[in-house]
Homo-oligomer: A and B are copies of this chain.
Amino acid sequence: MIAPLFKHDTQINDASLNVIAHMPTASLSTLMANEFALKLSDTDYMRIAVLLAKKSYDEGGCPIGAVIVNNHTKEIVGKGHNTLVQESHPYNHGETSAIRDAGRIDFSQTTLYTSLSPCDVCATLLYMRGFNRVVVGDVSNACGNERLLKEKGIVVDILEDQMGISQYAQFRKEKPNQDLEDWQGLAAISKS
């Protein structure tokens, strides 16, 4: 068996977290040993979500990412980013992308980290799939569904990541129509 690259003494920084963001979920065990995963904090998982958002931005897409972590093993079980542009996908946001990646698992045993506060569809999906903890990295650029999540019994933690907040604000300034389509559909652009 080939030993994973990241061990207990590997440094946690943007370079190592970025490789985690880009590696397919099913291959993460080749990259990092469990002893490395156990060192990662909420702030690190949020940064991985933000680096997934950066990946999307670099591809010409909307910069929103999400990561799902098993509460007990700290294993990353799903991750992804918005693919409105990349897949011509009308509703694949950060959260829907990570949940699709995770597949048919018990989400009540996991935490979802999202770089941006969830839209109505994603917030609804989070309670319908039985999540009990969600960590949000940017509440200044979004519509505030934290209240809905809390009403549904979900623990919501705000953990602002400045890289993610700046990145989203820059995107919104550069591509207002793409941002509007992502939130409200193509019809909203002709009305705006």
Contacts and interface: CB of A to CB of B under 8 A. Distances in A.
B108 A187 contact: yes
A103 B88 contact: yes
Interface string A109-135: 100000000011100110011100000
Give the number of copies in the complex.
Answer: 2
A94 to B, nearest CB: 14
Interface residues of A, number: 33
Looking at chain A's contact residues, is the secondary structure mostly helix, strand, loop, or mixed? helix
Contacts of A144: none
Nearest to A129: B185
A84 B186 CA distance: 28
Given A90-B102, A90-B103, A128-B183, 8 more contacts: A88-B103, A90-B105, A91-B99, A106-B186, A124-B124, A128-B185, A130-B185, A130-B187
Interface of A: 84, 88-92, 96, 99-100, 102-109, 119-121, 124-125, 128-130, 181, 183-188, 190
